[in-house]
Structure 1
């Protein structure tokens, strides 16, 4: 290695890994200098889809990072991917190949909280390990176990089984970015609101909402949210059904993560619809008229119950039949669909994707 600055290249998938890589390119030299002040450090970030031959297959990803390292003339290269990695029951934080001077970090394994800080600490440790330096690794990575093979210099950093399972799941949901669904479902929200307007003037719905009570209204809410989630999964083909037996376990993780992402997004959609309906009902429905039909003086709770009930019916009867959502954004909230889209972009004239 030359006496010049050590150049660290960051190769990242689009979306969350790409944003982390761009931020790290600015902060990484200072963090590396704190760990090893004897060297001059530089960092560069490149965002490109890292497409694996199989879900969970790290070698094509490491090879892509290595090719970029050679092309750019970097000293070491770190890949950041949003693909989950597992070694048995343990979540894999990173794969290292010191012989080629490359490593691959699985961003979902970093979890949800303090993600930029964790990413920086892991990348600093990877760089130091790849260079074989004796400098101390960041304290935040001390709890990671190292798995290696006596016949190879390659090794893995993994989390404990229980911690890793929950951190990986939370990280995958965050990587799916459920908040993006709010904008994607704005058309469905308008359709649901239009469908609910008729219910505002329906006396039968007022009386039903007053008689149902909180418990049954909550059940209806759960059913309407579940119906919306099922509709989105079926409409956009988000459920993974791999034929390859070794991919089925990972596909289950994908499916659970997709469902959790959609539930969070739909709950925000539902809360917005309830808020809009509460204002609408309070503005349009006269209190005296409402009281005569309910048989008692109305309160704000009565207005909320009516809005709550109408919003549940409108979610099922209006939004589910509208198809008024941004399909591309919805599909990007699912791992399998997002990875297939990247494969098609990387190999537009290629054969079928074998991700399963």
Structure 2
């Protein structure tokens, strides 16, 4: 290997983190070359491993990425996980193994978008921190890397601590968000982004169709006109919240999305999973509600003449735009309940894949299958070696006789 080539290995979890790693593979070399003045050629290699997104403890991940580092002769190895890393009640953003320089980045610690540029600069800071640790440079230079990493977390401060991990038999430098409240908020919003609520929204497409069909039939009758006109804003708001909450509960119960804390080894992680599922569903259903509202507003404007609507509601003149908004609002809330009860999901797997618990189970299943296949291959190899040995012994015995 040429001395001027620097290899960086990115070990990412499947899903959103995998996509981020592919973007980094394309954009990091140029950024690294412009940041570090040395005449080096930066080479980025990526490996997708389910363990990076399924291990409940970071020690398991570090053992795996250290193996990748040794086998591939990487100078720097960075694990990208969509799991929350919590240490002593704090949300950890970066974990650097001082023994071999392998590091781990928790994507949810960044919070909601945008994170691509911040992640690139974080990797620069991590590489600087590793170089400083190897060279044992002065504190002033170390402060520069910490400042670089801190800058990627606006409105928060990162605190650095050093701990010894028995599983890796080395010291680890942890960077965590100083405020537990801000750290929890970042984790939940970041995990919601990793769940991709807009992907979940795709599975609600046939619910939108059924809900719109139900509501469109109702808006031609005067009962809905009169109720939407006489109801106060507070009553309409209450109906909307009840419809959204009812749909959310229906999806959670119907598809068993709630994680039981009794079956969990880490109740704090389970609570984060459930909060994230709730927030992901909330975002998806709110967008579903807005789409349905726009459809009803357009339908009412096209189908119902303003003069006739105003005359039916005994107004002094034609119905104004607010009247149409109230009618669309009421129709959306009522049809949301009807659509949720009467429709199945278009693609149940998309709902399940947008939850951490299901993805964890799928990744563990994939790991177990890979482990089983590897064990079977090793057993076949051993049987082949044993058969060859027996054959060799038989030939030797025949020769001696």
When normalised by structure 1's length, the TM-score is 0.89
Counterpart in the other structure of 1:354: none
User: How far 1:245 sits from its partner (Å)?
Assistant: 6.5
> 1:39 and 1:340, CA in 2 relative to 1: closer, same or farther beyond 3 A?
farther
1:3 aligns with 2:3: yes
Q: CA deviation at 1:39?
A: 5.8
Structure 2: 5+ residue stretches without partners: 151-156, 373-401
Residue 159 of structure 1, aligned match among 177, 192, 195: 177
Aligned to 2:207: 188
Structure 1 residues 245-284: aligned runs within 5 Å? 247-284=266-303
The structure-2 alpha-carbon separation of the partners of 1:53 and 1:324, relative to structure 1 and needing over 3 Å to count, comes to closer
- Say if 2:50 is the partner of 1:49: yes
Q: For the residues of structure 1 that align with 2:103 and 2:219, how far apart are their CA atoms?
A: 59
**What's the offset of the Cα at 1:30?**
3.6
Is 1:301 matched with 2:322? yes
Q: CA deviation at 1:223?
A: 0.8
Q: Aligned partners of 1:284, 1:273: CA distance in 2, in Å?
A: 16
Decide whether the 8 Å contact of 2:54 with 2:364 is kept in 1.
Answer: no
Gap runs ≥5 in structure 1 = 352-356
| 8 Å CA contact retained: 1:35, 1:137 | no
Tell me the residue number matched to 2:162: 148
Q: Which whole-Å CA distance do the structure 1 matches of 2:164 and 2:257 have between them?
A: 41
Distance 1:242 1:259, change over 3 A: same
Q: Secondary structure at the match of 1:112?
A: coil
TM-aligned CA deviation for residue 52 of structure 1: 6.4
Cα deviation, residue 246, structure 1:
5.1
1:75 aligns with 2:75: yes
Aligned to 1:19: 19
Task: State the shift of 1:224 in Å.
Answer: 0.6
More helix by share: 2
How many residues align? The count is 350
Shift of 1:70: 2.8
| Alpha-carbon distance in structure 2 between the residues aligned to 1:95 and 1:39 | 28
Q: Can you list the C-alpha shifts for 1:43-65, whole angstroms capped at 9, x where unaligned?
A: 2222332356753x111222222
Query: Paired residue for 2:347?
Result: 326
CA RMSD of aligned residues (A): 2.5
Aligned 1:310-349 pairs, distance under 5 A: 310-348=331-369
Distance 1:349 1:77 in 2: 23
**Are 2:194 and 1:175 aligned?**
yes
1:102 match: 102
